[in-house]
Structure 1
Amino acid sequence: MISKQINTSYFGKFFGKYSQIEYDENKLYLYIENQLNNSFKWDEVIGYTVSTVGVFGTTLEFNFNTAQVKINLLKKEDCSNNLTNINSIITPIINQKIENKKREYKKYTQLEYLRDSRISYLENEIFPLLNTYTKQKEYWEERLPHSSISFLNNSIKYFPLSKPNVKKIRKEYESATLIKRSSFYDKIESNPLTEEQRLAVIRDNDRNLVLAAAGTGKTSVMVAKVLDLIDRGHAKPEEILILAYNRVAANELEERMNKRGASAQVEECSQTKVKTFHALGREILNKAKQSVKISLFSEDPIKLEMWLSQWFIQKLKEDEKFMKNFIDLSYQPINPFDFKTQEEYDNYIRDNEYRTLQGERVKGYQELLIANWMYLNCVEYEYEPSYVSKKRIEIGFDYRPDFYLIDAQIYLEHFGIDRNGKTRADINKEKYNQEILQKRELHKEYGTTLIETYHYNWVEGALENTLEKHMEAHEITIKKRPHEEVFKTLKESGILLKNIKLYLKCLQAIRVERLTDEEIYIRLEKNDIVNSKNYKILLSDIHKAYTNELNRQNSIDFDDMIIKAIDTVNRGDFKPKWTHILVDEFQDISAARMEFLNSLINKGSSPRLTVVGDDWQSIYRFSGGKLELTTQFESRVGSCSTTMLQKTFRYNNSIALTAGQFVMQNPEQYVKNVITHTHVDSPQVYLLDSEISNKENLELKTLQIIQKILNNDPNASISILARYRYLLADTKEIVSKKIRNKKIKYWTFHGSKGLEADYCILIGFFQGKTGFPNENKEEAVVEALLPSLDSFTHSEERRLLYVGITRAKKKSYLIANPRATSVFINELLAPKFKLHIASKTFDDKYRKIFKCNICTTGYFKLQKGTYGEFYSCTSGSVCSSNPRICTKCGSPSLDYREESICNNPSCKATIEICDKCGRPMKKREGKYGDFLGCSGYGIKEDQCKNTRKL
């Protein structure tokens, strides 16, 4: 190959860097002192060679990918003679480069959605070419064809590929594809796809997040996206992996995909399979020729519960120390002095039962310890007995000591004070201490013995020791209750079963979160679990026993299977070949499943990930769901394209407003503007009370609503929804006796996800242990082990209510107890939620009549007892309020020192009562005229001689 030479000028020989340059059709060669120093291939050129004539010689400037090379002090004549020849070599090379970049640019920006991973590549490949073109525009336009120049001019407006420019490119692609694929998107589902759905199908970035509000057609997007990829040739059916939350969802999705595929003549879609994470894990292990024997515990959860029951029974029977620890850990300790307000304390005690080994529900943890100690030491007692006298210490209450030691005939009071007489923050210290003195005086007056324990005994760890000293001082025999008898009590009282179920949930949380012993302890400590060290020891023992049992069975559970599948992929024993991975119900994904996904992506052929979910419907934290993987998707997995599905065809604008406003109170979730296909002018979410003739009757009220619906809409589908199954069972028993209709369904809130009915009736809105929202802290240990929850109060329970309300297509009915309303109902009463409040019992004026005057959240409820009707507080036995029934209007009547006044402001009837014992006063005739005398005067065993002037 003949090379040509360009020599240096006279000055170049003395001052130039290079002694000469040569070139041929392939390369440029640079010499120093006649020795080859460097060379550049013409294939690497990105611009024309230009010359600049100077006084001491000519400079040639060469533009390569790797460098811009300037050579000065060259002979003017040599440069003039060779420049045209050099550029004639360069021209076809640049033109071919432009053609190549044009094809690449079209492929990555016009034939498919611009992926984030392509941006830097296009930037590096095209921008240097464009940069040189702008500097040498005249040269290029003279030498290159119009088509190449046209491409360069069109491309300049998009480079550099900044975020706005990338957005512009994608927008143009979306617009073009919407037009081009319009017919396909119109027919791929039974109804034409919405624009949001179409965009979710079209957007095919490396990572894609589709956020779908309830009823916005996320399944349609999943189906359409798969069929679109296949139909356009962007992926082969076997290159697409679809992952569903469970087998039922997988079957439904696959069936629908095949049906729509056949309709759209994309029959090959049947080769695309929808799998659960567990099924995929098993398949990967099988293909990697690893043993996969699934444990009986995974196949049959009842067998797991039976195994854990046997483990506990054996340990309890064999080890007294284990039994003592088991009993201690059966209750969550609480320090009442930690509460800052009465409302905090009232709510806690109302919603969290402290039930003794003997079966009584006591008002606090320390009372429970005293009761259990007496039971375990064979000291027979009675909890809160009637005192020998009705003489009152507190206005409105008969005096009831905490305990009565039956055999010794001694009363025991546990006083909530520290060594300085300080009380809980919300209790009046002076008044409380005065009442202690009055109680002591009362016992002296009636000749009864009182022993006392104090809050500080417990704080100092001396409560049991104090009890022992009291027993010894009063010659009360204590003896350890036989081990077998205590075991029998644990079993018969339900404490054993309740704890087995609790620890089973703990085990499942440990497995799904893959917690080590140390991590168990850290989580318990972080969540302020008292006795965290003892819990950690017990939980570690359970987990160790479980893994030993799996080894004995030579099997693995579903959690193991995911972990082993991750390891198999990471080791390279299985090579993922999917180009597209789609995940349904992503808001409920666990950390382990996310790790599994990442392994498939990192070890695969750069697959594109599309996840579809709704952060507003994240309700499966108990099975490991980590909402932050959705709400923090971009920061967790990298840049992504996000599409909101906000148009719903299921429900109307009234349901959308109430449910959407309610769930969006949580600022840690995505904001969505849900648009409905159906518009109504009046509220379609109704709030009704659960009373019939002023008496609680949830089941009958539900029946009445169903009957009314069917009268107006005979072919309607109706669903009853509740937080707990027992409420559904009770309601179904009543309803099914009166109405035999297959269209009436009964769903738990969790079970209703993905379902719909014309009318939904939501029940179970009351306070208490099984109320909604669930505020029970008995499962605090489980909660500590589960994935962290966003900090907004009742966040997951709030999402659960959103799910429930949005199951309805036409109307949603909420039935609540107006005298024990849950905090959700109290919140929904605000005007902004636009409920149709269909009962006057939710009016403030009406509710105030029945508001408990002792606790902060309770309401008076009329009950039937052995001796007739009476009012009690909905907070239960933890609130001792016991108002009279107004003889005039039947409302609660509250006791004051000398009279009981009806709480109904339109009645205000009064009853004169004794200021000593609280019995009604009677008008009597006396020597000096009429007077009021206590009706207890004639009671010999507890006579009250109190009188009062008229």
Structure 2
Amino acid sequence: MVLGNRNENLSEFKKGKLRSFILSLISPITNSFKRIYEICITEILEVRNKILKIEKGTISEEAKKNIEKDISELYLKHELYNIRKESYLTYHEQKDLIDICAKCLTACSSFKNRSKLFDEPSNDFVNKSIIELSYLSSELKRYDNEEFIQQRIQKYDYLFQKSSFPLDNSQKRAIVTDDTHNLVVAGAGSGKTEVLITRTAYLTERAPDKVDAKKILILAYQNKAAEEVKNRLKDRFSIEEAEVRTFHSLGKKILEEGSKISGKETPKLKFSGSNFNKEFSNYIDHLFNLRKTNGDFQKKIVDYMRLYHDNEVIKSQEDFQKKEEFYKYMANLTYTALDGTEVKSEAERAILNFFISHNLNGERVKIRYEDPARWMMYTDSNGNKKSPKPDFFFPDYDIYLEHWAIDKNGGVPDWFEGKNASEEYKLGMKRKKEKFAQQDKYSLVEIASYEFKGEKFEEILIERMTKALKIKYPNKDFKFTPIPYDQLISRVNYGCKESVRGLSFNISRFITIAKTYNLPPESVKQRLRSERWSAKQEAFAGIALDIYELYENELRAENKIDFADMINLAVKELKENQELYRNSFAQILIDEYQDISAQRYELIHELMKKNGGCKLFCVGDDWQSIMGFSGSDLDFFVNFPEYFDHPARTDLSVNYRSCKSIVDTGAEVIKHNRGSHIEKNTFARNTTENPIKIYVSKYNRRSTNLYYSQIASHCVYSIKHYLDDGYEPKDILLLSRIGKNLKMKNMLMEYAKTQAVPISFDGSKNPNKIPFMTVHKSKGLQAKAVFLLDVVEDLYGFPCEIENPDIFEPAILSRKRDRYEEERRLFYVAVTRAMNDLIIYTRKDSVSKFIHEIENKVTFYELNN
């Protein structure tokens, strides 16, 4: 650029005019600063040498040319963005341009600071260059793309009109916003997939920066979702060349293309069917059943059952600031035995579990915990009559067993709160022993806590019980024997029993999650050794790792991989093969980004590195992140800027599906997930406020059959009422947190048959039948009326107690998760499937905490018949 009269140039520039020859110079800004600095240093040294001759130096033509070139190209970029509005100025390019201004200004300032060494024309050049660079820097810093966005929205309105519904301003903004990294934070029913599809069309239509459809990669999570995107792009916009894939499909293609380049054979898949998850789960179940015949493996399961209720990591004194706090914590700890009995110490649990898991002379031992011994009644210092409760009573033999919390010297544990408590405990021991000494009917077996810590605790217990039995019954022999594995399963409480039944399924989840974090069995073992875990977590991990290692050995022996391996190996292939997929994509669009996992993130990250200038567009709803069981990690969404820096965020806040009362209730649900979601506003386009109905059964936990009968009857009758009022089966959804609750399912089937209400219980999509399905399967669906069953505090309730995510933590490389956060998001999904009416069923004595959290948004009704 010929600088000439700078003031005139600036004036012409501000009018939006540039000399025609400048437009012909449009090219990427080159990095000429190193050369400028070299020239500056050389010239300054030369000038210094000439000082002795009292001569004024000049800035060389080469230095002027480099400075002029950068200023010219900065002007052209500024015109491109600020005047012609031909492209979106990304954060990264804006920063680069501002940095160029700053570096060029630094070069000019180095001349200005030595102005006395240069002649007048040189100083004039420097001063005018600084004016122009300062102006450009200021203009670039204040530029914000808003005018560009509005112009594009107007220009491409014809594309937005092709949507199946009118797009709102937020949706249009999301479509045209085109930073390097883009995050669209959506709400339920806000049309996020529609935005992704329309953006694809916009990218291929826009000018002058249109994108070749072949350079667009769209990633979905399920085959069904990918097919839907393909069909909508083709039918609505005639776009067929965009690459639409699932992550697994892309991983497979990367491996195939990598094999062609390297000449290696493409790894074969262990499971090649359309439903990998089911095939994989069934195969793990097969391996589990084979291993279950092994005695050592059975012992691992029994150990897990014994620790089934130990959900917490037991704290040590170092975890507390004051020892009194630790003592209080220890005194309040409880432990649960195999049959569900809650006891006060680990030793008491071990004692009770021993008698549950052993027969005496081939028969089950009857045992009662803390049964009041009225024959030992006494009057305390306040004149109140009290009956002591010895730890264990064996009614068939009139034997009591006391576990004394004492050490070898007769002292009580430190965590007994204060001297008074200690003395009171010792007084109680003394009083009980005296009562036993004063009668002949009942015998007392004693065992102390210090003996529990030894390796021969069971031997001591057997020896003392057998001795007491022989004294009472000298003519009989007594022998304790471990009961068979299957018999033990029948004796444990319902929750533990169901957990054991679901072990193989949970093992398959554990393996899937470990693989999404690229954790082989040895890495998981290392985590177990180096970090603190609950006893239950360690016990489950021991079982899961046994199967995980067996499964991995089989894969290696067969030279095969599974779907999780496919993505991990694709990432490895991209890292090792420098040319693979280089410059293949200009835009990567991802649907349902809230379900991203560690391995999928790594795949995207590598593709972005391979494709310089590629833009990333991610759309999702963190409030609907419910795929933790398959390895998804919400942190990648909630903390998006930590993984893809300085993203442009657009919110889709309007819910086009549900009425206001349902949208507001959904927001109320998520409000209780503190810190694990993105704050956002949600608004209902439909301002109707239909009451959300909660029907409460009067039957309690002990009347399970009556409860299921009552809610099934009322639900089916209500559905019939909707059908009679003109609703079609497709207008109704029938949901449950868990689909395998057979009692409830059978009741529904029975009443549906009696009332001739068409309900489908096999999961198939039949437009002439009302689908009964789990909440997980309902994601993405909607209905005018939604019935949500069994929202109670129970094993198969909502939140579901049978599916405890804590056991998967050793396979997860991220923050520890609140066990109720994902359950609450799942409840949010259930609530927001409803368009007009939401009907929820619960039970009076076990109303779910989730219902309590929204009680100000709902109307309660009591079921009386």
1:679 and 2:684 aligned = no
How far apart are the structure 2 equivalents of 1:44 and 1:605?
16
Return the offset for 1:462.
5.9
Contact 1:529/1:781, CA 8 A, preserved across alignment: no
Contact 1:773/1:797, CA 8 A, preserved across alignment: yes
- AA paired with 1:678? N
Contact 1:570/1:603, CA 8 A, preserved across alignment: no
**Superimposed CA distance per residue, residues 844-865 of structure 1 (whole angstroms, 9 cap, x where no aligned partner):** xxxxxxxxxxxxxxxxxx99xx
Structure 2 residue aligned with 1:363: 342
- Closer/same/farther in 2, CA of residues 788 and 154 from structure 1, 3 Å limit: same
Q: Secondary structure at the match of 2:196?
A: helix
Q: Secondary structure at the match of 1:546?
A: helix
1:714 and 2:727 aligned = yes
Q: Secondary structure at the match of 2:268?
A: coil
Structure 1 residue aligned with 2:13: none
Q: Secondary structure at the match of 1:726?
A: coil
Aligned length: 751
Residues 840-855 of structure 1 aligned to structure 2 (within 5 Å): none
Contact 1:119/1:161, CA 8 A, preserved across alignment: no
1:809 and 2:835 aligned = yes
1:241 and 2:217 aligned = yes
- Closer/same/farther in 2, CA of residues 102 and 568 from structure 1, 3 Å limit: same
- AA paired with 1:551? R
- AA paired with 1:674? T
Return the offset for 1:345.
12
- Closer/same/farther in 2, CA of residues 616 and 537 from structure 1, 3 Å limit: closer
How far apart are the structure 2 equivalents of 1:746 and 1:345?
46
- Closer/same/farther in 2, CA of residues 371 and 293 from structure 1, 3 Å limit: same
How far apart are the structure 2 equivalents of 1:252 and 1:210?
20
Equivalent of residue 622 in structure 2, options 605, 615, 619: 615
How far apart are the structure 1 equivalents of 2:38 and 2:139?
19
**Structure 1: tracts of 5 or more residues without a match:** 1-42, 48-61, 144-148, 262-266, 842-861, 864-950
- Closer/same/farther in 2, CA of residues 550 and 382 from structure 1, 3 Å limit: same
Equivalent of residue 176 in structure 2, options 177, 199, 202: 202
How far apart are the structure 2 equivalents of 1:472 and 1:281?
64
TM-score of the pair, normalised by structure 1: 0.68
How far apart are the structure 2 equivalents of 1:764 and 1:348?
31
1:471 and 2:470 aligned = no
Structure holding more strand per residue: 1
1:250 and 2:226 aligned = yes
- AA paired with 1:592? Q
How far apart are the structure 1 equivalents of 2:67 and 2:516?
58
Structure 2 residue aligned with 1:559: 564
Return the offset for 1:228.
0.5
Structure 2 residue aligned with 1:544: 549
1:732 and 2:748 aligned = yes
Structure 2 residue aligned with 1:21: none
How far apart are the structure 2 equivalents of 1:348 and 1:733?
44
Contact 1:660/1:674, CA 8 A, preserved across alignment: yes
- AA paired with 2:667? G
Residues 531-930 of structure 1 aligned to structure 2 (within 5 Å): 538-572=543-577, 574-576=580-582, 577-665=584-672, 666-680=674-688, 682=689, 684-691=691-698, 696=707, 697-710=710-723, 714-715=727-728, 717-727=731-741, 729-730=745-746, 732-737=748-753, 738-741=755-758, 742=768, 744-775=770-801, 780-788=806-814, 794-829=820-855, 834-839=856-861
Cα RMSD for the two superposed structures = 5.0
- AA paired with 1:239? K
- AA paired with 1:275? R
Contact 1:158/1:169, CA 8 A, preserved across alignment: no
**Structure 2: tracts of 5 or more residues without a match:** 1-28, 260-264, 317-324, 379-383, 471-476, 492-496, 759-767
Contact 2:313/2:533, CA 8 A, preserved across alignment: no
Once the two structures are overlaid, the 10-residue window that deviates more, 419-428 or 737-746, is 419-428
Structure 2 residue aligned with 1:10: none
How far apart are the structure 2 equivalents of 1:807 and 1:231?
34
Return the offset for 1:604.
2.4
**Superimposed CA distance per residue, residues 120-151 of structure 1 (whole angstroms, 9 cap, x where no aligned partner):** 43235556778999999x999x99xxxxx9x9
Q: Secondary structure at the match of 1:702?
A: helix
**Superimposed CA distance per residue, residues 588-613 of structure 1 (whole angstroms, 9 cap, x where no aligned partner):** 11111111111111122331111111
Contact 1:622/1:786, CA 8 A, preserved across alignment: no
- Closer/same/farther in 2, CA of residues 437 and 336 from structure 1, 3 Å limit: farther
Contact 1:687/1:835, CA 8 A, preserved across alignment: no
Residues 369-518 of structure 1 aligned to structure 2 (within 5 Å): 369-374=350-355, 377-379=358-360, 380-384=364-368, 405=394, 408=397, 410-412=399-401, 447-453=441-447, 458=452, 463-475=457-469, 481=481, 486-489=484-487, 497-516=501-520, 517-518=522-523
Structure 1 residue aligned with 2:18: none
Return the offset for 1:780.
3.5
Return the offset for 1:773.
2.0
Structure 1 residue aligned with 2:202: 228
- Closer/same/farther in 2, CA of residues 673 and 317 from structure 1, 3 Å limit: closer
Contact 1:471/1:478, CA 8 A, preserved across alignment: no
TM-score of the pair, normalised by structure 2: 0.74
Equivalent of residue 77 in structure 2, options 104, 109, 113: 104
- Closer/same/farther in 2, CA of residues 183 and 401 from structure 1, 3 Å limit: same
- Closer/same/farther in 2, CA of residues 439 and 826 from structure 1, 3 Å limit: farther
Q: Secondary structure at the match of 2:665?
A: helix
Contact 2:806/2:819, CA 8 A, preserved across alignment: no
Q: Secondary structure at the match of 2:190?
A: coil
Q: Secondary structure at the match of 2:515?
A: helix
- AA paired with 2:77? E
How far apart are the structure 2 equivalents of 1:316 and 1:101?
72
- AA paired with 2:697? S
- AA paired with 1:224? T
